[in-house]
Structure 1
Amino acid sequence: MSVAAPAPAASADPPAESPAPSRARDWRAHATVALLALALAVYVTSGLWRDPFRHGLSDNLGDQAFFEWLLGYGVYTLGNGADPFFTDLLNVPWGVNLAANTSISVYTILFAPLTHLAGPQVSYVTILTLNLAGSAFAWYLFLSRWLVRSPLAAGLGGMFCGFAPGFISHANGHLNWTAGWVAPIVVWQVLRLRQRGHWLRNGLVLGVMLGAFFTIAAEGLFYTALASGMFVIVWSCAGAVRAEVKAAWATVLKALGVAAVVAGALLAYPLYMHFSGPQTFSGTGYNQRYFAEDAAAYLSFPSRSLAALFGLGSTLGPNRTEETSFFGVPLIVLVAVSLVLVWRNAAPGRRATLRAIMVVGGTFLVLSLGPRLNWMDGELPVPLPYALLARLPLFDAALPLRLALVVAAVFGVTLALITQELLDRRISPSVHTGLTAAIVAALLPIFPLPVRVQERAPEPAFIANGTWQKYVSDNGVISALPFALNVHADGQRWQAYTMARGGPQFRIPDGYFLGPMINGEEGKEGLGQIGAPPRSTDWLFTRAALYGYVTELSDADRAQARADFAYWKLEALFLPEQITGSDHMTLFRNSVLVTATDLLGPPEQVDDVLVWRIRPGVDPIDR
């Protein structure tokens, strides 16, 4: 797109050859930014690196367990030729549509050797760290190529984009949303589509990108496509770039056509599975009015920041994983002032770019507020534009507050632009010092703290040593107690570790995933929800684990348990020495033991777990 001095050349092609000293300086700058980004990413994830096998993300153990499960499933997929987009290992007897979840298939395959050798725990923290560092570095390269000359300006903007409060928040569990590098790489390729004579090559590259990135961050890719399309349309309408648009439109359309064909071919099966395959659903199981950005959150500081150390953190997010804005008043003011200053100094072509950036940022900010306005934890009777989109395909499966991550990218671009203006001394001396101090004052309070971790239950020797195979038939069903769920996902983790080692595998009922509400035994699919539809028996154990609730069981309870066991084709249950709850939650293991013993009779002590065999057709207590 059109950019004016002092930015790099407006051409989609970089200069053919740079002087040797310039190349050397570039590589030194690249290496410096890469090392800084990696160091900061390791700092943010340091709690996991200290002991990846025993430490878990206390603010979101469930999502960490789910992604570790996917990494283990990647090894299973390669070893067994399994479908990467559907599995019957979870949620017996229905299975789980992984295409309708975040399958991260590219990651699971690429990291399968590491997962097999070191375990899903190590692969998980490795990917999380590389996501954060790679996002900052990718944005740095993008800004260096398209918008600013100075490595310092590009580095500051890139580091903000990679480590903005929203992405630190999503580092609590999400390997998809921390893959912020997807956006600059895709946008870079979109901007290259206008290269004359290269429409076929550029279209092929973009199509392959879309096919690969869909499995890593489908929702983020959707937002990137929306932002890119909006930017191009607004930019193209500017009179200053009319001749440039006229010369490029035919090339761009041909390249987009190639990209559509290539992406369509690569995504034909995953898209079919996502929208029409077994265990599909509408929506996400999450309330869009609840998972909308509170307008006051934009003015607040995040819970994992330096400001929070001094009691200035906020709780306006729905949870600690979804603090997607939380920029603070100083940064909001700085961005507004910076845009005015950059606009004043910009040539017409640069103003076309700035206008498009501001429209994208403003639009996504408003949409992130959701269907109704929220202020200071209260919903006001003020309808907002997202209400018109909420029921549309794709939007119905999105969470509005995550649109604020696009706003974070706009803020990062603005920081790079104003820093370049300062370095070029295009700001008046009377403002220069104050603006420099304002940048420090705006960024220092939101400097990130490491993600919170807690101890989690170790893998039982019963699982690690393969003793479980004596209690389950080939590909049979066994479950830890309590049954796997997002707030107590140990059983799902241990299945992941078994898959990563290769060899025989067991299946489990329930699990943490997104799936449909099942109406009756016919399996009619409907709205989305978290996990499997609960049955009486798994809820019996969940209630005991979460609340310590123990009830005197009746013959009806035992008859229901017999029916539920047959429904799951369950062959054995086991209770480990320790069970883990999220957010340092204390789970009541003794209540689970009392409930299981009342229902099933005395257990066997096997290795380091208690085991109950389940025999079909036999009353649990009379086994």
Structure 2
Amino acid sequence: MSSGLDNLRDVTIAAPAPITSDPSSKKADISGRKWPAHLAMAAFSLAAAVYVCQGLWRAPQQNVVADNVSDQGQFEWMLSYGVYVLQHLGNPFFTELLNAPRGVNLAMNTSSTFYAVLFSPLTHFAGPQVTFVTILTLNLSGSAFVWYLFLRRWLVRSGLAAAVGGLIFGFSPGLVSHANGHLNWTSGWMVGIVAWWVLKLTDRDHWLRNGIVLGLLCTMGFSVAAEALFFAALASGIFLFVWLLSRPGLKRARTALPPLLKSLGVTALVAGTLLAWPLYMHFHGPLKFSGTGFRMRFYSEDLVSYVAFPLPSVAGAFGWGADLAPNATEATSFLGAPLILLFIAAVALLWRRSSPERRVTLRALTVIAILFFLLSLGPRLRFLGEEQSHIPLLYALLVEAPLFDSALPVRYTLVVVVAIALVIALFLDEFLTKRIAVRLAAVGVVFLAVAPIAPLPLRTLERAPEPLFISSGKWKDYVTDDGVMTSLPLSIDVAVDSMRWQAYTMARGGDSQFRIPAGYFLGPQDYEETGRHLVGRVGAPDRPTDQLLYKAARWGQVPRITNEQRLQARVDFAYWELQAVFLPETVTGPNGPLNRDALLRLATQLLGEPEQVQDVLVWRIRPGVDPVDVIEETQG
């Protein structure tokens, strides 16, 4: 009696020759032929990932990705928080260490709990900087390798075709662009494993096991990249829907649907139970909000970007790249005209040459590519950098829908890239069985389409070193345990040094820890919860004093401070419960050092002369001091 799994394999693999049914022969084939190929692919993928991340590996404690300094700092904080949570048995989904005195709902942020806990020993002993580049390297190489294994298991016979498909996705412009600071969106391996197990759900004999495993995988995926897991679930649902309603898939629906539904029920039960707490915190926890804090219409794909070349690529090195992305980290398409044309031609050729069973797979992949392409364009069409506001698109219907309202359209492109990579692998696999001239022609066409988008190494720059004031523990003399202290300026999306100093302290462990005001995170726009609908924003709501500090650091603006501004500063310091502020010798900004001299002049006007402590300048904030005394001190 055949199972749903066997039926699914019939649909997804149209083999030119039958596979032997002798299990011992199959095992011998795997051990004698496939394992060396697997090891070679793993080694090549790892070498390619090290090449892309080489700038960080040269000096992980010193260098930072140049195109997204802040997100790397944020992820380093999240990794260090894993050490803190394990040591203090803290709440992994809410913290009071950031945004004092309110805290931050981490369930609504990219907390990456799985990485933070799994790599906590490395973070503790080597620092979050080393952990960050380690995970980033493993993500890129693992994404290529897992999708290679996926292709060999489900779609193609040729190891070369599987390797090409895996590398196209694992080192696609989208994943490499997200390597500029994003540990979540480079986790393509997680999506591959989830997709792998989704294809097992039609197995009638193991529906319980498959449901449990998929539930555990979804739990892991939620803590790695919740938004990517949503995309994976959406794409998997579309694939299964098309497969079940396609002929000859329709003939198999009667036998495949019962185990599929039972497995999904078990998956929902397991994942729902394990994720009950984080989901509650996300939807009903303190400081919850809606949206992302980012403008969806800005973070949408430009129609031309799909056929353009990425800037950090071989084509870009020759000046053929296009700057049409919202930023360097969200350049998720840029596949180039040759690869797009090859994808279209491959679908047409394979459709003509394939059996009805194989056409089911092609139909599903094509539907997924088209739907996610439309979603990636956002609510309004963008063309050559200009929004065509009079042309609404599919996403305009979904902007306020649950889950869709928290996703950035530009990121749906990564699913399009998966579909393209799978189709290219199918195309190559089809023609690698032909005579030598046809094989060479097929390999040559794929090489010419892919070579222009081959990635260049990530750009890096130096960031401010950790002050001795922090690393030596001298800071403990200026703030009580769990008291509030910050470096200048307060942490925001373009200046995360204060979060970094806190992160390095958490990573080293110990009983003492300080909190910081503000921070780089997603939170509600308002200071107080009023029971009304709260919209998300990046960072804490602005206060007058942090705006003064920000303008001084970013643009060197130092106005003549009035007594009213000094009084406001005391009000703000009291709100933050600040005990001390300090200014290091260098302050990291988004493109290089910020204006330290301007910060020093402004802080001196507000607080008086600082105290030199090791390699920083420190101002003590004395709670309960009469503002008139402060005014007299700063003026005198």
Deviations 1:532-560 (A, max 9, x none): 01111111111000000000011100110
SS of 1:302 mapped into structure 2: coil
Question: What is the Cα deviation at residue 328 of structure 1?
Answer: 0.6
Pick one of 409, 418, 421 that aligns with 1:400: 409
SS of 2:328 mapped into structure 1: coil
Mean CA deviation greater in 244-253 or 401-410: 244-253
Match for 1:447: what amino acid? A
Q: Which runs of 5+ in 1 are unaligned?
A: none
Query: What is the aligned partner in structure 2 of residue 420 from structure 1?
Result: 429
User: 8 Å contact 1:69–1:493 — kept in the other structure?
Assistant: yes
Question: What is the Cα deviation at residue 307 of structure 1?
Answer: 0.6
Question: What is the Cα deviation at residue 315 of structure 1?
Answer: 0.8
Match for 2:480: what amino acid? S
Q: Which runs of 5+ in 2 are unaligned?
A: 1-7
**In structure 2, C-alpha distance between the alignment counterparts of 1:39 and 1:529, rounded to whole Å:** 39
Superposition pairs of residues 173-252 of structure 1, within 5 angstroms: 173-252=181-260
Superposition pairs of residues 265-280 of structure 1, within 5 angstroms: 265-280=273-288
**In structure 1, C-alpha distance between the alignment counterparts of 2:591 and 2:337, rounded to whole Å:** 29
Deviations 1:366-406 (A, max 9, x none): 11000011100011121101100111010000000100000
Query: What is the aligned partner in structure 2 of residue 479 from structure 1?
Result: 486
- Is the counterpart of residue 438 in structure 1 residue 407 in structure 2? no
User: 8 Å contact 1:7–1:148 — kept in the other structure?
Assistant: no
- Is the counterpart of residue 154 in structure 1 residue 185 in structure 2? no
Query: What is the aligned partner in structure 2 of residue 453 from structure 1?
Result: 460
Pick one of 454, 460, 472 that aligns with 1:465: 472
User: 8 Å contact 1:3–1:9 — kept in the other structure?
Assistant: no
Match for 1:482: what amino acid? P
- Is the counterpart of residue 601 in structure 1 residue 611 in structure 2? no
User: 8 Å contact 1:301–1:328 — kept in the other structure?
Assistant: yes
User: 8 Å contact 2:335–2:453 — kept in the other structure?
Assistant: yes
User: 8 Å contact 1:541–1:595 — kept in the other structure?
Assistant: yes
**In structure 2, C-alpha distance between the alignment counterparts of 1:87 and 1:164, rounded to whole Å:** 35
SS of 1:148 mapped into structure 2: coil
Match for 2:422: what amino acid? V
Pick one of 318, 325, 335 that aligns with 1:327: 335
User: 8 Å contact 2:14–2:357 — kept in the other structure?
Assistant: no
Query: What is the aligned partner in structure 2 of residue 262 from structure 1?
Result: 270
Query: What is the aligned partner in structure 2 of residue 50 from structure 1?
Result: 58
User: 8 Å contact 1:488–1:580 — kept in the other structure?
Assistant: yes
Match for 1:103: what amino acid? S
**In structure 2, C-alpha distance between the alignment counterparts of 1:131 and 1:65, rounded to whole Å:** 18
Query: What is the aligned partner in structure 2 of residue 70 from structure 1?
Result: 78
Query: What is the aligned partner in structure 2 of residue 28 from structure 1?
Result: 36
Query: What is the aligned partner in structure 2 of residue 128 from structure 1?
Result: 136
Superposition pairs of residues 608-619 of structure 1, within 5 angstroms: 608-618=615-625, 619=627
Question: Structure 2-normalised TM-score?
Answer: 0.95
- Is the counterpart of residue 509 in structure 1 residue 522 in structure 2? no
Deviations 1:141-197 (A, max 9, x none): 000000001110001001111111000000000000000011111111111111122
Superposition pairs of residues 530-545 of structure 1, within 5 angstroms: 530-545=538-553
Residues paired across the two proteins, number? 619
Match for 2:394: what amino acid? P
RMSD: 1.8
Structure 2 CA distance for partners of 1:617 and 1:115, relative to 1, 3 Å = same
**In structure 2, C-alpha distance between the alignment counterparts of 1:415 and 1:608, rounded to whole Å:** 56
User: 8 Å contact 1:482–1:542 — kept in the other structure?
Assistant: yes
Query: What is the aligned partner in structure 2 of residue 143 from structure 1?
Result: 151
Question: What is the Cα deviation at residue 617 of structure 1?
Answer: 2.6
Mean CA deviation greater in 291-300 or 242-251: 242-251
Question: What is the Cα deviation at residue 436 of structure 1?
Answer: 3.3
- Is the counterpart of residue 491 in structure 1 residue 492 in structure 2? no
Query: What is the aligned partner in structure 2 of residue 287 from structure 1?
Result: 295
User: 8 Å contact 1:182–1:213 — kept in the other structure?
Assistant: yes
**In structure 1, C-alpha distance between the alignment counterparts of 2:325 and 2:62, rounded to whole Å:** 28
Question: What is the Cα deviation at residue 23 of structure 1?
Answer: 2.2
**In structure 2, C-alpha distance between the alignment counterparts of 1:53 and 1:47, rounded to whole Å:** 11
**In structure 2, C-alpha distance between the alignment counterparts of 1:571 and 1:518, rounded to whole Å:** 24
Superposition pairs of residues 104-123 of structure 1, within 5 angstroms: 104-123=112-131
Structure 2 CA distance for partners of 1:94 and 1:138, relative to 1, 3 Å = same
Structure 2 CA distance for partners of 1:288 and 1:14, relative to 1, 3 Å = farther
Match for 2:583: what amino acid? L
SS of 1:366 mapped into structure 2: helix
User: 8 Å contact 2:287–2:529 — kept in the other structure?
Assistant: no
**In structure 2, C-alpha distance between the alignment counterparts of 1:523 and 1:420, rounded to whole Å:** 58
